[in-house]
Amino acid sequence: MYDQLIIDENDPLLQSEFVIEILRQLRALDTYGSYEGWHDARVLDPLIMTKERKREMPLTADPDDITLSNIRAYYNALAVLIERECGHMATTLISISHEGFGRVLITVGKLVVMDKVLRDAHLFGFKSLEKLKTESDRILAQAQAMVSTYPAVAAI
């Protein structure tokens, strides 16, 4: 955990649809109740990886359980919103080695709507909350375009 929060507790992006969903996912994966009573900004803060924070991290390291949970929560939130938009079940498939290399797929039916190679998973995060939202919106738009282009494959 970092000493100082990067996200402002009054940031309007905390009320965006994607941020609300990723918070649901993060809290759902918190099996020990560690986030109980935490403000949303504090829960999301480990997902913000500024240059300063990256400098503090080793160049190579194995991802810890919190980082792996953050990765799962992020991609699960994307899948939930894709499913909500297209009306077909979206499934997240995540495979990460203990060294932090892997791949994430989101499928709708038999259609792969997102394919991302992960490297250096211990450094997973975004420069800011705005960058997190922008990247998520881009992925969601691409996934929706794929489903619109190939609706028969998505419906299988």
- Tell me the pLDDT tens digit for each residue of 27-83: 999 988 889 999 999 999 999 998 888 888 877 778 888 899 999 999 999 999 999
- Cα distance from N-terminal residue to C-terminal residue, the chain: 43
- Looking at residue 62, its pLDDT comes to 82
Q: Residue 103: what are its φ and ψ, rounded to 5°?
A: -150, 150
- Looking at residue 69, its pLDDT comes to 92
Map out the domains of the chain as residue ranges. 12-154
- Looking at residue 135, its pLDDT comes to 96
- pLDDT at 2 exceeding the cut of 60: no
Encoded tokens for 27: 């809290």
Across 18-34, average pLDDT:
93
- pLDDT at 1 exceeding the cut of 70: no
Q: Give SS3 for 144.
A: helix
Q: Are the CB atoms for 14 and 41 separated by under 8 Å?
A: yes
DSSP per residue over 57-74, as a string? S-SS----HHHHHHHHHH
Residue type, 126: F
Of residues 72 and 4, the one with the higher pLDDT is 72
Residues in the chain: 156
Residue ranges of E strands in the chain: 90-96, 102-108, 111-118
Q: Are the CB atoms for 125 and 22 separated by under 8 Å?
A: no
Tell me how far apart the alpha carbons of residues 77 and 26 are, in angstroms, rounded to a whole number. 9
Query: Looking at 6-20, 54-68, 98-112, 130-144, which range is the least confident one?
Result: 54-68
What is the CATH number that goes with domain 12-154?
1.10.3100.20
- pLDDT at 8 exceeding the cut of 90: no
pTM for the full model?
Answer: 0.90
Tell me how far apart the alpha carbons of residues 102 and 100 are, in angstroms, rounded to a whole number. 7
Of residues 1 and 31, the one with the higher pLDDT is 31
Tell me how far apart the alpha carbons of residues 102 and 80 are, in angstroms, rounded to a whole number. 21
Tell me how far apart the alpha carbons of residues 87 and 84 are, in angstroms, rounded to a whole number. 6
For the ranges 59-63, 99-103, 111-115, the one whose mean pLDDT is highest? 111-115
